[in-house]
Amino acid sequence: MIDLFYWPTPNGHKITLFLEEAGLDYTIHPVDISAGDQFRPEFLAISPNNRMPAIIDRNPKDGGEAISVFESGAILLYLAEKTGRFLPVDIRGRTAVTEWMFWQVGGLGPMAGQNHHFGQYAPEQIPYAITRYVNETNRLYGVMERRLAQVPFLGGAVPRRCRSSAVPITALRTWPAIPGLCRGSASSRTLRTFRA
pLDDT of residue 68: 98
Q: How far apart are CA 137 and CA 183, in angstroms?
A: 8
Q: How far apart are CA 94 and CA 7, in angstroms?
A: 29
Residues 105 and 36 in one domain: no
Residues 79 and 100 in one domain: no
Residues 73 and 19 in one domain: yes
Q: How far apart are CA 106 and CA 114, in angstroms?
A: 12
pLDDT of residue 155: 87
Residues 87-114 have pLDDT tens digits of 998 999 999 999 999 999 999 999 999 9
pLDDT of residue 153: 85
Residue 69: in which H helix or E strand, if any?
A: strand 67-70
The pTM assigned to this predicted structure is: 0.80
Residues 79 and 96 in one domain: no
Residues 99 and 167 in one domain: yes
Residues 18 and 38 in one domain: yes
Residues 98 and 185 in one domain: yes
pLDDT of residue 76: 95
Residue 82: which residues within 8 A CB-CB, separation 6 or more? 57, 60, 61
pLDDT-above-90 percentage for the chain:
72
Residues 99 and 191 in one domain: yes
Write the CATH number for 98: 1.20.1050.10
Q: Could you say which of 83, 103, 137 is where a domain stops?
A: 83
Residues 51 and 96 in one domain: no
Residues 79 and 105 in one domain: no
Residue 68: in which H helix or E strand, if any?
A: strand 67-70
Q: How far apart are CA 10 and CA 53, in angstroms?
A: 10
Average pLDDT, the chain: 84
Q: List the Cα angle 130/135/145 in 5-degree steps.
A: 140
Closest CA to 18 of 60, 94, 80: 80
Residues 43-75 have pLDDT tens digits of 999 999 999 999 999 999 999 999 999 999 999
Residues 136 and 44 in one domain: no
Give the range of the structural domain holding residue 52, as residue numbers without chain letter.
Answer: 2-83
Residues 75 and 95 in one domain: no
Which amino acid, residue 136? E
More confident residue, 163 or 120: 120
**Structural domain total, the chain:** 2
Closest CA to 173 of 45, 30, 21, 61: 21
